[in-house]
């Protein structure tokens, strides 16, 4: 079955530090890949996505590149801010479904950025 | 102009009770979902409906029964609540694979 593995958290950084959150996946076929962010007390928001190999998704200074050869979709940001403190989820959509595609989530990584 | 809304936001109830959570989306999406997030933040899909038809039904106790009166609404009814049902329940909708989530309903069973 499909699975997503994220680096274990929590991750604590100082403001302006470089961020990497690792994500690897297992899937048959060619899934779409996503990063979602969950701020405290809120629902999940789509941060970025990539739908095919070598695509780079980017938003709000965050980037992730779909690497089929390493089955990875690592999230990076060059300079984090306190407001980036949240839980980050890597996810893939089942490539075998066209409607009602389920998302398979990683375990989530808690990021805390200190001033 | 809320996209996906859920009610209630918080629900505290006793074991054995029956409760419902409602979800509405105004995005015109065809597909809606229920996810459960446990205390460790792990998210797992429970159900999915496409145009009022059930298409995903994961291994969920049959005390949980989803209902979709129309494609903009997906409700979740839970019978005989148990302590282990305490979690945050998220509704989501999608059109072409990209999913939009509601704010969640935090259910606490005492």
How many interchain CB pairs under 8 A, A with B? 56
User: Tens digit of pLDDT for each residue in A18-71?
Assistant: 999 999 999 887 889 999 999 988 899 999 999 999 999 999 999 999 999 999
Q: Is the pLDDT of residue A97 over 60?
A: no
Binding-face residues of A in 91-110 toward B, CB within 8 A: 93, 99-103, 105, 107-108, 110
Judge contact between A71 and A23, C-beta under 8 A.
no
Q: B47 — contact with chain A (CB < 8 Å)?
A: no
Which of A62-66, A95-99, B71-75, B90-94 ranks highest by mean pLDDT? A62-66
The span from the first CA to the last CA of chain A, in angstroms, equals 41
CB B103, CB B7: distance < 8 Å: no
A38 in B contact zone (CB under 8 Å): yes
Contact of B29 with A87, CB cutoff 8 Å: no
Residue of B41, B46, B87, B90 for testing the chain A interface, max A β-carbons within 10 Å: B41
Give the model confidence (pLDDT) of B14-69 as tens digits: 999 999 999 999 999 989 999 999 998 899 999 998 888 888 888 789 999 999 99
Backbone dihedral angles phi then psi of residue A79, each to the nearest 5 degrees: -150, 105
Total residue count of chain A as it appears in this document: 115
Nearest CA in chain B to A109: B41
Percent composition of chain A: helix, strand, coil (DSSP 3-state, to 5): 5, 50, 45
């Amino acid at each position: 079955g499909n699975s997503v593995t994220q680096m274990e958290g929590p991750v604590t950084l100082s403001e302006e530090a470089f961020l990497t959150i690792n994500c690897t996946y297992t899937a048959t076929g060619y899934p779409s890949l996503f990063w979602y962010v969950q701020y405290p007390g809120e629902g999940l928001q789509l941060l970025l996505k990539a739908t095919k190999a070598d695509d780079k998704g980017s938003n709000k200074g965050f980037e992730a590149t779909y690497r089929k050869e390493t089955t990875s979709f690592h999230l990076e940001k060059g300079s984090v801010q306190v407001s980036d403190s949240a839980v980050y989820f890597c996810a893939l959509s089942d490539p075998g479904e066209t409607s009602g595609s389920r998302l398979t989530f990683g375990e989530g990584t808690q990021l805390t950025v200190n001033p | 102009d809320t996209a996906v809304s859920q009610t209630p936001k918080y629900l505290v109830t006793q074991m054995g009770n029956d409760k419902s959570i409602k979800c509405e989306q105004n995005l015109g999406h065809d597909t809606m979902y229920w996810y459960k997030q446990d205390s460790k933040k792990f998210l797992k899909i429970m159900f999915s409906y496409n145009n009022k038809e059930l298409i995903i039904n994961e291994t969920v106790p049959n005390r949980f029964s989803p209902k979709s009166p129309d494609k903009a609404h997906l409700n979740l009814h839970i019978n005989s609540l148990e302590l282990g049902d305490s979690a945050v329940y998220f509704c989501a909708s999608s059109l072409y694979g990209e999913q939009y989530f509601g704010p969640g309903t935090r259910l606490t069973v005492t």
